[in-house]
Amino acid sequence: MADFFKTVPQGINYSSEFLRCKQTVEIILQASQKKFIFDNRLNEQHHETFSEVKLRATEFLTSVPPDASHILI
């Protein structure tokens, strides 16, 4: 997987704050030197209503710069 990310153009990279995601980011970082932004809006939330999920996702997506050409989540 890390080798694949070497070929992905540099852009804005996001990850949730969960340990398994941070571990994956570490592997990618070692292979590709890509930097990631950890955002709690990407964390899985238990006991959320659909409306709450939709609001959280919309808030995250509207915060992504509109001119970003490569976005990795």
pLDDT tens-digit readout, 7-65: 888 888 899 999 999 999 998 888 888 889 999 999 988 899 999 999 999 999 999 99
pLDDT at 45: 84
Buried b (16+ CB within 10 A) or exposed e, 18-52: eeebeebbeebeeebebebeebebbeeeeeeeeee
